[in-house]
Amino acid sequence: MKKIAIATVLCFGLPLAAVAQTMGNTGTALNAQDKTFIQKAADGGLAEVSDGKLAQSRGNSSVQQIGMRMVTDHGKANDQLAAISQQLGDPAPTTTDATHQQMHAALAKLSGSSFDSQYLHDQLLGHEQTISLFKTEARSGSNPQLKNFASATLSTLEMHLSMIKSAMKSTSS
């Protein structure tokens, strides 16, 4: 009888332990959407910090202020996402993807009003995409921690978009 009990634990207990380990501390396995959210949010956030630092040294005063805000806000969000994703067993990337690296390299070659214009344009598109990504995760993600993070970060992203649009209006007039 003891042999049957031990065999039962080995057959069913170990696979369950492995499943529990992949689900992180929340008891909810990360689905493809959650994993994509972590990847894309981290890529975008890291790019915001990198490009924001460039904007602080190359942009006009309003672009410098936006750059400073991006470094501060996205740096904080990156740290939060890194902690959550680490806890969930799917660590966020620590470097940007090739697309963001190419965009940063192209931006780094610009100066003056060309830099300001391109930086603001990239920020506008990036924030529109990021807001969409975060809204989707907040609405239909499977992991409660990621959903809460996305929901809590949305107001900051929307404020950034408003700042960017305002700066674009003032630079074009």
**DSSP for residue 109:** T
- Asked if residue 63 and residue 1 are part of one domain, the reply reads no
What's the token pair of residue 158? Answer: 């929307």
Provide the number of structural domains found in the chain.
2
Percent share of the chain, pLDDT over 90:
81
**Cβ atoms of 34 and 142 closer than 8 Å:** yes
- Asked if residue 41 and residue 22 are part of one domain, the reply reads no
Q: pLDDT band for position 171 (50/70/90)?
A: confident
Residue 39 sits in a domain of what CATH number?
1.20.1260.10
What's the token pair of residue 116? Answer: 């300001």
pTM for the complete prediction?
Answer: 0.83
- Asked if residue 163 and residue 148 are part of one domain, the reply reads yes
pLDDT per residue as tens digits for the range 46-77: 999 999 999 999 999 999 999 999 999 999 99
- Asked if residue 74 and residue 19 are part of one domain, the reply reads no
pLDDT of residue 137: 98
